């Protein structure tokens, strides 16, 4: 599993040969002149520039990428990008890492800072309820990879910037229905009103399915309202309202013997613990989010954007050994000042601002009486405050771009346990932590080459300081790491877009997960890790004939070589071992086409190398190959009436694989089987009026 340059060279040469063949054939007719991806404008690091002109490792996921797959999940779309892995242990139970492992994420999304319509979606405790967002809440996603949090605060795992609204929305009604295997039902409807001054969109999504495994039912309802309002010539207001009601059953991890005997099974019981079904193990979560972002031009050179929001989430979690009840309200805001000036033919851009989040959470653990909360075991209240100030300066010269930025971060946690009674309030503060970043880019016609160095730190989340399977752990220390990047972005053979990035990441005080017999989690600090990687993304727009409307062939490859540099625990020495949950190689590729007569199709392929399941590297999950296909028909009438129907299949090779392994699982409980071959079909109807015009 170590890096073999010969094998890597064979992969790259095969990819190049494949693309050259496609290019040669597609250029027999008029080729597509416009390249969409390099010219996409991204918001990362407050640059608002073309993707290829931003000197950082960034993945962009737009509508065209999302629409390659089923409308029931964005997992496949995320995993089509290099350096990112999203897992689904069971329907609705998401995990995600960016250039890292799932060691800190037995469930949920941690160590990844998420912004939703400019709102800090990640709560001050470090957790992001990503599963509350349905497929239709995503219009675009920017993924900033690595410890590049100079403008985004604490974290070593990366940043996600999500936008839910397209600024070219038109007045109209949209409705879509999907049905599929395992009684999949996905219904969505929206109403949009648009003018040259505003866009307002209301949406409602209902999703349900029985799940592939026993005891893995999912029900999700999401109501959203988003608006963009131009209040004056240079002032605009962006509004966000989101309510989610999510329920899903958690079947639990299986041992290898149980997994091979019946991958559909839920975790069985024993003399010590009930099984998942008997315990009615599940998640019932409600979340409410309301916020607004106001942008104004103060002078011809100075602009400000200020965001304020409030969020409340309620969680009920009957588990194998307990019943958890959480209430997590928090409020926050973020402000950014942007100043730009042209001085001696050098464009100078200055960004500075601050972010503040305040949480008021309460947690209680009860005995689980058949899925109901029984006698109280522990009761806690937590006030946590996360704050940061940041600044960034960028210089644009003729052939060079230089960016330097940093953030100063403080996280304060005040903890009080009522049951059983303690001596009083306990405090833990992570402050005076500076996260700097320095980047240089050299421009060569259609190619840009850049390098950067960034330092970051990641304090423990609330879930890690108060784990489900252990005592309070306020002594857990923050991770600290330094990341080095070198990358290339550009166009070859006129329209072949290539984005290659190599990195080295050194991490200290790595937080790793342990599990007890009842499935509870607790965490410790490992010594240090060494993480190297090369991430490659290539795409090429296709055109074969005059009947060919549009198309794209694409490929992404990830090589990650992640090891414990130093990690000793009691008599065990894991130094030099592979980090669990990391696939050394992943490949995602495919092509999609759209014809002028309305017919469309897509073929996708995904490969994951074998994955270490524990720190000792004694157990591995097998490698697997996934093949998906989608065909359909789309018809527009007078550019106002739209009809679309398509059908698809996933896991056509009928692979048995685990998507979301429970690393370091007690008693070898690692495996959460993903669906076998499955199918879906979708019908879409849309009625539109005049086009919106928001600048």
pLDDT of residue 315: 94
40 or 643, which is more confident? 643
Contact call for residues 128 and 655 (beta carbons, < 8 A): no
3-state secondary structure of 593: strand
Contact call for residues 462 and 382 (beta carbons, < 8 A): yes
623 or 2, which is more confident? 623
Helices (H) and strands (E) in the chain — how many of each? 7, 39
**Exposure on the CB side of residue 583, measured as CA atoms within 13 A:** 29
pLDDT above 70 for 515:
no
Contact call for residues 59 and 84 (beta carbons, < 8 A): yes
What is the pLDDT confidence band of residue 106, given thresholds at 50, 70 and 90? low
pLDDT of residue 212: 95
Long-range contacts of 109-113 (CB under 8 A, 24+ apart): 110/157, 110/461, 110/463, 110/464, 111/155, 111/156, 111/157, 111/458, 111/461, 111/479, 112/155, 112/157, 112/158, 112/159, 112/160, 113/149, 113/152, 113/153, 113/154, 113/155, 113/157, 113/158, 113/159, 113/160
pLDDT of residue 474: 76
The three state secondary structure string of 72-120 is: CCCHHHHHCCCCEEEEECCCCCEEEEECCCCCCCCCEEECCEEEECCEE
The CATH T-level fold of domain 5-691 is: Maltoporin; Chain A (2.40.170)
The token pair at 393 is: 């300066």
What is the pLDDT confidence band of residue 664, given thresholds at 50, 70 and 90? confident
522 or 563, which is more confident? 563
What is the pLDDT confidence band of residue 168, given thresholds at 50, 70 and 90? confident
pLDDT of residue 689: 85
pLDDT of residue 422: 74
pLDDT of residue 542: 84
**Among residues 176, 164, 167, 40, which one has the least CA distance to residue 691?**
167
Q: Which residues pair with 110 in a beta bridge?
A: 127
What is the pLDDT confidence band of residue 505, given thresholds at 50, 70 and 90? very high
Q: Average of pLDDT values for 363-388?
A: 92
Pairing of strands 84-88, 94-98: antiparallel
**Owner of token pair 């866009």:** 199
The three state secondary structure string of 7-75 is: HHHHHHHHHHHHHHHHHHHHCCCCCCCCCHHHHCEECHHHCCEEHHHCCCCEEEECHHHHCCCCCCCCH
Q: What is the mean pLDDT of the chain?
A: 88
The token pair at 365 is: 């653990």
**Owner of token pair 């010269």:** 397
What is the pLDDT confidence band of residue 25, given thresholds at 50, 70 and 90? very low
pLDDT of residue 471: 65
pLDDT of residue 341: 94
Q: What secondary structure letter does DSSP report for 269?
A: P
φ, ψ at 667 (rounded to 5°): 70, 20
Sheet strands (E) in 516-597: 521-525, 528-541, 548-566, 568-569, 572-573, 585-595
**Among residues 50, 78, 84, 53, which one has the least CA distance to residue 66?**
78
3-state secondary structure of 606: strand
Cα→Cα distances 521→56, 515, 602, Å: 35, 5, 41
Segment among 527-531, 627-631, 667-671 with least mean pLDDT: 527-531
354 or 510, which is more confident? 354
272 or 104, which is more confident? 272
pLDDT above 80 for 135:
yes
Q: Average of pLDDT values for 382-409?
A: 93
Contacts of 361 (CB under 8 A, 6+ apart): 125, 326, 327, 328, 329, 330, 381, 382, 383, 384, 462
pLDDT above 50 for 215:
yes
pLDDT of residue 330: 96
What is the pLDDT confidence band of residue 512, given thresholds at 50, 70 and 90? confident
CA–CA gap between residue 17 and residue 22 (Å, rounded): 9
Which H helix or E strand runs over 256?
helix 256-261
pLDDT of residue 19: 44
96 or 654, which is more confident? 654
pLDDT of residue 16: 44
- Domain residue extents for the chain: 5-691
pLDDT of residue 51: 92
**Owner of token pair 């392929």:** 605
Q: How many residues does this entry show for the chain?
A: 695
φ, ψ at 149 (rounded to 5°): -100, 30
What is the pLDDT confidence band of residue 127, given thresholds at 50, 70 and 90? confident
**Owner of token pair 């160590």:** 111
Per-residue pLDDT tens over the stretch 233-281: 889 999 999 999 999 999 999 999 999 999 999 999 988 889 999 999 9
pLDDT above 60 for 21:
no
pLDDT above 90 for 603:
yes
pLDDT above 60 for 33:
no
pLDDT above 80 for 354:
yes
pLDDT above 80 for 137:
yes
Contacts of 464 (CB under 8 A, 6+ apart): 104, 110, 473, 476, 511, 523
Per-residue pLDDT tens over the stretch 436-470: 999 999 999 889 999 999 988 888 887 777 765 55
φ, ψ at 440 (rounded to 5°): -130, 135
pTM as predicted? 0.91
Per-residue pLDDT tens over the stretch 278-329: 999 999 999 999 999 999 999 999 999 999 999 999 999 999 989 999 999 9
φ, ψ at 252 (rounded to 5°): 85, 160
pLDDT of residue 398: 87
3-state helix, strand, coil in the chain (%, to 5): 10, 60, 35
Distance between the two ends of the chain, CA-based, in angstroms? 50
């Amino acid at each position: 599993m170590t890096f073999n340059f010969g094998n890597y060279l064979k992969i790259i040469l095969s990819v190049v040969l494949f693309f050259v063949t496609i290019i040669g054939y597609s250029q027999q007719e008029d080729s597509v002149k416009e390249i969409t991806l390099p010219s996409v404008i991204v918001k990362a690091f407050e640059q608002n520039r073309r993707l290829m002109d931003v000197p950082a490792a960034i993945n962009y996921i737009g509508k065209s990428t999302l629409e390659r797959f089923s409308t029931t999940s964005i997992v496949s779309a995320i995993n089509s990008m290099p350096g990112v892995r999203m897992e689904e242990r069971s329907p609705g139970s998401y995990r995600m890492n960016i250039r890292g492992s799932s060691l800190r994420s037995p469930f949920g999304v941690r160590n990844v800072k998420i912004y939703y319509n400019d709102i800090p979606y990640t709560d001050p405790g470090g957790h992001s309820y990503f599963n509350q967002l349905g497929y239709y809440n995503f219009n675009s996603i920017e993924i900033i990879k690595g410890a590049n949090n100079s403008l985004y605060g604490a974290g070593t795992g990366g940043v996600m910037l999500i936008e839910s609204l397209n600024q070219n929305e038109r007045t109209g009604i949209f409705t879509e229905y999907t049905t599929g295997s395992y009684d999949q039902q996905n219904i969505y409807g929206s109403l949009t009103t648009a003018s040259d001054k505003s866009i307002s969109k209301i949406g409602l999504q209902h999703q349900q399915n029985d799940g592939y495994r026993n005891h893995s039912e999912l029900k999700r309802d999401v109501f959203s309202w988003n608006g963009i309002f131009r209040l004056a010539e240079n002032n605009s207001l962006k509004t966000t309202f989101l309510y989610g009601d999510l329920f899903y059953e958690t079947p639990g991890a299986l041992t290898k013997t149980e997994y091979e005997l019946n991958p559909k099974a839920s975790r069985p019981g024993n003399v010590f613990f009930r099984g998942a079904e008997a315990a009615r193990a599940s998640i019932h979560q409600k979340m409410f989010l309301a916020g607004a972002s106001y942008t104004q031009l103060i002078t011809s050179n100075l602009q400000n954007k200020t965001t304020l929001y409030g969020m409340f989430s309620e969680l009920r979690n009957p588990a194998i050994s307990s019943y958890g009840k959480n209430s997590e309200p928090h409020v926050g805001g973020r402000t950014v000042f942007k100043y730009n000036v042209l001085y001696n033919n050098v464009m100078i851009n200055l960004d500075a601002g601050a972010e503040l989040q305040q949480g008021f959470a309460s947690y209680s653990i009860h005995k689980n009486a058949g899925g109901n909360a029984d006698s109280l075991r522990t009761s806690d209240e937590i006030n946590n405050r996360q704050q940061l100030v940041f600044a960034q300066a960028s210089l644009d010269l003729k052939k060079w771009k230089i960016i330097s930025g940093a953030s100063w971060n403080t996280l304060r946690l005040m903890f009080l346990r009522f049951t059983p009674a303690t001596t009083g309030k306990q405090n833990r503060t992570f402050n005076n932590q500076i996260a700097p970043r320095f980047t240089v880019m050299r421009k060569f016609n259609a190619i840009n080459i850049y390098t950067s160095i960034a330092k970051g730190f990641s304090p423990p989340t609330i879930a890690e300081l108060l784990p489900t399977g252990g005592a309070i752990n306020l002594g857990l220390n923050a991770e600290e790491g330094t990341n080095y990047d070198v990358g290339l972005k550009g166009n070859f053979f006129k329209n072949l877009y290539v984005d290659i990035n190599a990195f080295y990441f050194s991490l200290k005080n790595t937080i790793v997960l342990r599990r007890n017999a009842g499935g509870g989690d607790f965490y410790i600090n490992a010594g240090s890790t060494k993480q190297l990687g090369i991430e490659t993304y290539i795409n090429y727009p296709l055109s074969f004939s005059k009947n060919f409307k549009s198309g794209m062939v694409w490929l992404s490859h990830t090589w990650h070589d992640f090891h414990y540099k130093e990690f000793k625990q009691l008599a065990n020495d894991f130094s030099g071992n592979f980090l669990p949950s990391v696939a050394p190689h992943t490949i995602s590729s495919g092509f999609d086409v759209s014809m002028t007569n309305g017919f469309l199709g897509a073929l996708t392929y995904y490969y994951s190398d074998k994955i270490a399941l524990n720190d000792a590297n004694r157990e591995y999950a097998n490698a697997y190959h996934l093949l998906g296909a989608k065909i359909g028909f789309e018809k527009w009438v007078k550019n106002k009436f739209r009809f679309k129907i398509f059908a698809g299949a996933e896991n056509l090779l009928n692979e048995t694989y685990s998507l979301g392994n429970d690393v370091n699982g007690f008693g070898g409980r690692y495996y959460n089987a993903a669906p076998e071959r499955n199918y879906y079909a979708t019908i879409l109807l849309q009625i539109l009026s005049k086009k919106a015009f928001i600048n």
